[in-house]
Chains A and B, each alone.
Chain A
Amino acid sequence: MNKVILSYEFLRMRRSIATISLFMFVILASSYSIWSGLAWQTSHQDSLSEFVEQIDKKGSEWRSDLEDIESGKSQSSPYVARPMDINFPAIHVTGPTSHLAIGMTELLPARLMISPRRNGLSMIEAYEFDNPMTLLFGRMDFVFFVTVIVPLLLIALNFDVIASDRARGLNRMLLSNPITESSIIANRMAARTGLLLIIILTVLSIGLYISNNLPFDTVIAWIFLITAYIVFWYGLIFLVVSKNKKGFSGLSNLVSLWLFFVLIIPAASNSITGYLYPQPSKLELLSDARSATSEATKQTAELTQQFLEDHPELTIGDDQVPGYYRALFLSNSVVKESTKPIVAEFTKSLDDRENMLDVLQYLSPTTILQRNLIAIAQTDSRSHALFIETATQHVDLVNDAVEDAVLTSNRISVSTFDQIPSFQDIWEATERPKVTVIWPITFMLFLGLALISLTRRS
């Protein structure tokens, strides 16, 4: 009997213009969301590559100058091949599925300049040139399509799965067969939802296929997360349509539930988290950095003197290197020390908020799916914080390599320079935040199956 209902349902769908139109919309909207994300990511990546190319070119020129001075091909001068002028590019390389989940990458800085001239704040290249109004409107990437649009499509497909039959008395005829009403609903919904799921997973597969070096576990995680999310909505819709005799009241209830789970709970979760763990003031960080810079500038002579007393083995170079090189280097060190507490506060606040959201996400499967897909794509706040942290470590590494030379107005050797690793090497060796999707998937599947089982029993 179940097979008959399924076949009947597929036949009905084939003959319904509204249903075919809806599936066409699914194909178009999901393909569009992938194209939109891909177009943005390509342009973003091109810009980053251009930046790396330009800085690397300058770096090669700098090294070549240093080689010439070291080999005696050219004469030393105060401004050429100075260690303060070392620059390394640092770019935030996101995961292979970042075109499907843009996340925070549109907002957060992805280009950093690693140099002894820069500190934790000034290493960020100016990047805030996007139109704030277009940022406010946001983009339609695949994550938005799956988390927001798909549940509504499921509602549109399934809300009248039985109500219209009930209204016309057709359900009585069906129930004269050895089958329960819940089985009829479940099978008909399974046919409709199954077809929708197949379309979404097919388009997703194309989206994933476009990516380079895609790990197998990432593919599995995307497929299972989306499937579990759809199972949850299937269960919820199954419960509501089974309880509502009239189609429109079921629809009102489902739209209210969509609003609750997709918009209100995520917004409330974020507001509660922000209220409990407010982000520290960036303006306070700025104030601290400025105070430190001002104090360090005033004390340049004393700080240099102290350094030279601590390192009697070092000799002062002959070149008349401008004094601001040393002043800048010292002020950056002072800024780093003085802003340590507030930087730590930022890190703690972000951790607290993310940990809190890790718990609150279980209030809404939409939040679960959105957070996990963005985390897998490494376009979330955690991944970005790790990028900044790694870049800060790289700045320290470069500073350690050049400190003696800068403070004694000397140069570093070519071999010392060559021993400084590039940011890319460090970033590739850095362990990314672990994304455990087993619990989120299990939770959504459990919820969905529990709702189905509950409805069948009642």
Chain B
Amino acid sequence: MSPDIISKKEKTIMGRNRFTNAIYLATLLLMLVALFLSWQRTEMFELERATAANHDREVWLNQGERNPHSAAHFSRYAFKPIPSLSAFEPGAIDYSGLAIWMEAHRRNPATFRYAEGAGELANFVSLTPAWIMQAIIPLVIILLLFSSYAGEREDGTLRQLLSHGISLRAISNGKIRAALYTILKLLLPLSFLIFCATILAEAGASQLDQLLRLILLFCVYGFYFMIFAFIAIGVSAKTSNRRSSAITLFTLWFFFIVVAPKLTNDLATYTVPQPKGFDVNQSLSEARGAYSKDKEYQEEKKQEILDQYGVVDVNELPVNYRGYALQTNEEYGDLLYDQVYNQLGKTYKKQENILGVLSVLSPTTVLKQLSAGLAGTDRLHHDVFAWEAELHRRYIIKMMNEDLMFNAVDGGNYSAGKELWSQVIDYQGQMPSFMSLISSYISMFGILTLWAFLAFLFARHSTLKIQDL
């Protein structure tokens, strides 16, 4: 008897099992509800973002006549583009700000985090399609597979199969094929629903990039489900009855999905503490005030422009010295701000490295990071937005300072108007392509593949080395 027949038998049993069908239906229904709620939320985010961006433009253009430096203080906001895949996986998008104020002299963090207003329960547990895929489907896989060997052993059918000359290898192949079929049966309809909800929505990235992300998400979740399926088969083969198999698998599920991610996060933030808001604020404040304290640098820059125009006094300059000084102040501060934010980035990276290393405790930890990365809702994607916004801030402020420098030559109460304001191009945030960031995710792909490989070895070893029939 070939593995095909074993596999077919498994599929037939599952197909006839009312409990199995009820689980499929319930999971699909839950996914539909979660997708609807998540899609609606993403649409609302995008609408709010577009409205706010338009409004910001109107306010900027109609601010009236004023000094360009005063306008640089008022400045504009950069609004984060919302990736359509966030309808599937909101990831860290609720925990990172939605807008950055691009004002003069200050490099601000992103503000308006959605999670702040979503209430305690949302931070406790959130009904999203990704959460269903990460937490519920592994449980469904366990419920479907925990008796695959243990049940046969308890009912005495495993002994019967072997007495008919079927090898352990054939049984193992058949069971594994059936498990893979189970995964596909779960993954395909869910992927189709996710595809419809995200690819058809307005995307923040190119359609090709979107497609690549979706394909990789499909593969990553496929691997994740395989890990649970292999572990379920392996444990079922190792345990003497359904009860022991179920207890072991439920314990593993609980540890992998509920305990380990929080535990690893606690360890990561304990080893590398979260930056204290007060301390970072202090550093930013020091960076802001550093230029005014560095008299030597101010003199050096002053001499530089005097030499450039071949004059000895700022009053003889053909440009407005204040505009020049404001720009040198900005450039001086930019370097210091970069240091503060690079330090922050290093802290985050260290924390995530610890999370990565501790992913050996649970595949869910690494999956959560990969899933958010592929959906464009993780910290790395947020950092790209924050950096683009910073570059745009520098562009706006430089334009304002240069206008002051070259047009307010007579000094006095110089004002610019709509002509200048309309020259400032809008911040057009684009989601980075996944390929441009892929190097940051390779190790995570590696860890997940390793988990799948080890789980497969465990299943193979357990099913081929059965002693107790």
A residues neighboring B (CB under 8 Å):
29, 36, 39, 43, 47-48, 50-51, 103-104, 107-108, 111, 125-140, 144, 147-149, 152, 156, 160, 163, 246-248, 251-252, 255, 259, 263-264, 266-271, 273-275, 278-279, 281-284, 286-287, 290-291, 293-294, 297-298, 324, 346, 350, 353-354, 357, 367, 370-371, 374, 380-381
Instruction: Across the A-B interface, give the 3 residue pairs with the lowest CB-CB distance, nearest first.
Output: A137-B265, A132-B92, A283-B52
B281 touches A263 (CB 8 A): no
B410 touches A (CB below 8 Å): no
Which residue of the partner chain B has the closest CB to A293? B74
Within 8 A of A (CB), among B241-279: 241-243, 245-247, 250-251, 254, 258-259, 261-266, 268-270, 273-279
How far apart sit A282 and B80, CA to CA, in the bound complex (Å)? Answer: 13
In the complex, the answer to whether A132 meets B99 with C-beta atoms within 8 Å is: no
A294 touches B119 (CB 8 A): no
CB within 8 A of B247: which of A43, A251, A353? Answer: A251
Q: Is the CB of A287 within 8 A of B243?
A: no
> Can you show 7 pairs from A to B with CB atoms below 8 A apart?
A130-B275, A133-B378, A136-B95, A246-B242, A248-B241, A267-B127, A357-B121
Which of A127, A134, A259, A275: most chain B CB closer than 10 A? A134
Residues of A within 8 A of B37 (CB): 271, 274-275
Do B264 and A137 touch across chains, with their CB atoms under 8 A apart?
Answer: yes
Q: A131-B352, A138-B265 are in contact. Are A251 and B378 (CB under 8 A)?
A: no
Whether, in the assembled complex, B96 has its beta carbon less than 8 Å from a beta carbon of chain A, the answer is yes
B372 in contact with A133 (CB, 8 Å): yes
Report chain B residues within 8 Å CB of A251: 243, 246-247, 250
- 1/0 contact trace for B42-74 toward A, CB 8 Å? 001000110110011001001110100010001
Contact B262 A139 (CB under 8 A): yes
The answer on a CB contact under 8 Å between A149 and B259 is yes
Of the four ranges (under 10, 10 to 19, 20 to 34, 35 or more), the interface on chain B belongs to: 35 or more
**Chain B contact residues: over half helix, strand or loop, or mixed?**
helix
Contact A137 B262 (CB under 8 A): yes
Interface status of B192 (Cβ within 8 A of chain A):
no
Instruction: Enumerate B104-127 residues with CB–CB distance to A below 8 Å.
Output: 108-113, 115-127
Q: Please state if A287 and B52 are interface contacts (CB–CB under 8 Å).
A: yes
Quote the shortest CB–CB distance from B29 to chain A (angstroms). 11
In the complex, chain B residues whose CB is within 8 Å of the CB of A264 = 30, 127
Q: If A127-B277, A133-B378 touch, does A287 touch B59 (CB 8 Å cutoff)?
A: yes
Cβ-defined contact, B63 with A298, below 8 A: yes
**Is B77 at the interface (CB under 8 A from chain A)?**
yes
B338-365: which residues lie under 8 A (CB-CB) from chain A? 344, 347-348, 351-352, 355, 365
Residue of A nearest to B73 (CB): A324
Verify if B452 is at the interface (C-beta below 8 Å from A): no
CB < 8 Å: which of B44, B52, B121 contacts A269? B121
* Complex CA distance for A227 and B262, rounded to whole angstroms: 25
Given the known interface contacts A131-B348, A251-B247, A286-B99, the answer about A125 and B281 at a Cβ–Cβ threshold of 8 Å is yes
Chain B residues with CB under 8 Å of A128's CB are 96-97, 109-111, 113, 277
Contact B51 A370, beta carbon cutoff 8 Å: no
Q: Which residues of A contact B242 (CB under 8 A)?
A: 246, 248
Q: List A contacts of B136 (CB < 8 A).
A: 259
With A and B bound together, what is the CA distance between A353 and B123 in angstroms?
Answer: 15
Do B261 and A137 touch across chains, with their CB atoms under 8 A apart?
A: yes
Pair B51/A126 contact, Cβ less than 8 Å: no
CB distance from B57 to the nearest CB of A (A): 11
What separation, in Å, do the CA atoms of A290 and B110 have in the docked complex? 17
**B263 contacts A274, CB within 8 Å?**
no
Give the residues in chain B near A297, CB-CB below 8 Å: 63-64, 66, 70, 74
- Contact indicator A268/B127 (Cβ below 8 Å): yes
Contacts of A380 in B (CB 8 A): 120
B123 partner residues in chain A, CB cutoff 8 A:
104, 107, 138
- With contacts A43-B273, A51-B278, A266-B121 known, is A284 near B63, CB below 8 A? no
Bound CA span A108–B30, Å: 31
User: B17-47, CB under 8 A of A: which get 1 and which 0?
Assistant: 0000000000000100100010011001000
Q: Which partner residue on chain A sits nearest B76 by CB separation?
A: A290
Which listed residue, B109, B247, B372, touches A126 by the CB 8 Å rule?
B109
C-alpha gap A274/B44 in the complex (Å): 12
Contact B277 A137 (CB under 8 A): no
